[in-house]
């Protein structure tokens, strides 16, 4: 499980986003476990099937967060096609949940009335990034990615946005049963509008606290069609019935931006 408050240091030397874990900046951050079983809730973690961890840093030079996610999985399943295949979470993907002001609350729709009370009145209250890429061949890397996030005004008006441009730098590499995601992330606040993104971009500063969790969706049956998710693992504990992050930011963990990490945290 990730720390109660993850400390993300400001890095002077930026990572080369190539899916390789050899950048000096990653030595400045602590690994956080993506090891809580959200689906099926209460199941035991089989470390022979899956182990996942992540690191996060930030840069005052670029005004970006940077993530490194390392997953060992017995089988990697891709093949997602927007609007054609089953839902994105039924494939092997990573998810990043971020709530810029750590305000919590529902964040699915721009709803009104009962829909708004249950599912949110502002979908930009928090972001649930479903990050998909086709797994490259052994020893190779891909920079192509799709980042799904839900919006709309209600269940009769569901919209799926591709927010790949929120991750301006992206790489996924694979070596055997290990895949490494490395990417940058722009942080937006809850005034975000698709037609005026820059107005909602946040300036990152030391001391800033945000809601943050990371998850991994795991499909262990590439031979099955349509694809169906077998497990979902998260970086924080959730109450029963689990899988609550996608709709409510109350369950997100916390990250604090700092200038440097205390020595004992490395």
> What does the pLDDT look like over 93-139, one tens digit per residue?
999 999 999 999 999 999 999 999 999 999 999 999 999 999 999 99
Q: Coil, strand, or helix at residue 254?
A: strand
Joined together, the tokens standing for residue 114 give: 């009962």
Joined together, the tokens standing for residue 138 give: 């052994």
pLDDT for position 265: 52
**The pLDDT of residue 245 is above 70:** yes
Give 142-195 pLDDT, tens digit per residue.
999 999 999 999 999 999 999 999 999 999 999 999 999 999 999 999 999 999
Joined together, the tokens standing for residue 50 give: 């899956």
Domains of the chain: 5-265 (2.60.40.1190)
pLDDT for position 165: 98
Nearest 5°: the CA angle 124, 129, 135 is: 165
């Amino acid at each position: 499980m990730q720390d109660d408050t993850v400390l993300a240091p400001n890095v002077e030397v930026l990572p080369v986003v190539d899916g390789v874990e050899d950048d000096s900046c990653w030595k400045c951050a602590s690994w956080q476990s993506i090891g809580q079983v959200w689906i099926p809730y209460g199941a035991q973690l089989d470390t022979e099937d899956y182990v996942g961890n992540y690191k996060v840093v930030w840069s005052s030079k670029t005004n970006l967060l940077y993530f490194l996610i390392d997953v060992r999985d017995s089988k990697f399943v891709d093949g997602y096609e927007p609007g054609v295949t089953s839902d994105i979470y039924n494939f092997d993907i990573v998810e990043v949940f971020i709530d810029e002001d750590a305000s919590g609350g529902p964040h699915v729709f721009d709803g009104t009335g009962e829909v708004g009370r249950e599912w949110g009145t502002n979908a930009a209250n928090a972001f649930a990034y479903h990050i998909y890429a086709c797994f490259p061949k052994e020893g190779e890397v891909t920079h192509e990615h799709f980042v799904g996030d839900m919006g709309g005004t209600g269940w009769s008006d569901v919209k799926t946005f591709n927010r790949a441009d929120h991750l301006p730098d992206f790489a996924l590499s694979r070596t055997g049963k290990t895949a490494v995601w490395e990417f940058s992330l722009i942080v937006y606040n809850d005034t975000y509008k698709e037609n005026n993104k820059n107005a909602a971009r946040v300036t990152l500063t030391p001391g800033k606290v945000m809601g943050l969790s990371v998850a991994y969706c795991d499909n262990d049956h590439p031979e099955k069609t349509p694809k169906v998710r077998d497990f979902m693992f998260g970086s924080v504990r959730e109450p029963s019935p689990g899988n609550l992050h996608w709709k409510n930011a109350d369950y997100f963990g916390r990250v604090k931006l700092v200038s440097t990490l205390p020595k004992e945290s490395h």
